[in-house]
Amino acid sequence: MEHVYTVGRAAELTGVPSGTLRKWEQRYGVVAPHRSPGNYRLYDDEAVRRLSVMRSLVEAGWSAQEAARHVVHDAAAAESALPRPEVPSSDPRFAALVECARSFDGPRLERLLAQAFADADLVSLVDDWFLPSMVHLGNAWQRGEITVAGEHFVTAAMHRRLAHAFQSLPPARDGGPRVVVGLARGSRHELGVLSFAVVLRSRGVAVTYLGGDLPLEAWVGTVSLVAPEAAVLSVPTVEDLPAVREVTEALAPLTAVLLGGAHQAQVEGPEHLGHRAGAAAAALARQLGAVG
C-alpha cells in the first residue's frame, strides 16, 4: 500500500529540514509532490526515498546540483555510489562466485556453497565470507563484469542455502527468549537479516523471521502479539531509511529495537549492531541468556 506524508512528516522520515526539502523540490525538481484538496503538499513513498538518497549524497560531499541530477535520473544507481563499510578482498572464493555469476555455472556454485557451509562455523561463515561475498558480487555488477541476471542467479542460490540452514536448525527450548527479525516495507535485501536470524537461532534463540517488505501495521501487530525480547531490522540501502524510521518509532514503546545494515547509523534511537551480523547475533544470544 502506498503511503503519503505531509511536508513535516516527510522531513521527519528523511532527516531533511522542511525548508531544504522545498528548496530541493523547487530548484532541482528532485520530487513532485501531490496536492491535497486543501492544497497541502503530500509526498509519496517514492518521493521520500528520493529525498533520503539526496540527503545521503549531499552528506557524502556531492554538490546539491550534482546529487539532484543523479537522483532524478536514477535514484537506485545514485544510492549505489555511496560508500559502504570495508570488506575483506583476499578470499579467492569471492572471484569464484563472480565467475559463477558470469557463466551461470550452477554445479560449481552449488559445490562452492556446500563447501563453505561445511567448513566454517556459522559466525565465521556469515562475517568472513557470506555477506562480504555479496558486496563483491554487487561491485562486479556495478563495474559491468556480470549481468543483473547473473547477480540474481547467485543471490537466489545463496538465499536458498541460507533458508535451508535456518530450517534445519532445531527449535529453541520452550520458555526461552524470542526475537522478531525482518525488513521494513519496501525493503527486499534479505540476506543480511536472514544471516543474522540463522546465527541467532543456532544459539538457542526462538526467532520469528518475517522476511522482507513488511508493512508497518504488520510489524506492530506481530510484535504486540509475540511480545519478543527484541525486534531486529536492517537498513541495507539509503532508500530503506524512511520506512525503517517509521517502524523503529512505532516499536520503541513495545520492545527493544536493534538495527543492522550499511546505513544503520543514520537512524537515531535504536541500538546499532555494527557491520558483522554473525558476531552481533551471537552477542545478542549471550545477552539474552540463550542456550545453544
Contacts for 112-118: CB closer than 8 Å, 24+ residues apart = 113/157, 113/158, 113/161, 117/161, 117/165
CATH number for the domain whose boundaries are 4-80? 1.10.1660.10
4-80 against 92-168: fold identical? no
Q: Give the pTM.
A: 0.78
Over its C-alpha atoms, the chain yields an Rg (Å, rounded) of: 20
Q: Mean pLDDT in the chain?
A: 87
Identify the band that residue 15 occupies on the pLDDT scale cut at 50, 70 and 90.
confident
Asked if CATH classification 1.10.10.10 holds for the domain at 92-168, the reply, yes or no, is no
Contact 250, 222 (CB under 8 A): no
| Helical (H) or strand (E) element with 9 | helix 7-14
Taking residues 89-100, report their average pLDDT.
84
pLDDT at 76 over 70: no
User: Does CATH number 3.40.20.10 belong to domain 178-288?
Assistant: no
pLDDT tens sequence across 158-213 = 999 999 999 999 988 888 899 999 999 988 889 999 999 999 999 999 999 999 99
**pLDDT above 90: percentage of residues in the chain:** 45
Which pLDDT belongs to residue 1? 45
Residue 231 pLDDT class (50, 70, 90 cuts): very high
Rounded Cα–Cα distance for residues 49 and 234 (Å): 16
Q: Which of 42-56, 172-186, 271-285 has the lowest mean pLDDT?
A: 42-56
The ranges assigned to domains in the chain are 4-80, 92-168, 178-288
- The reported pLDDT for the residue numbered 112 is 92
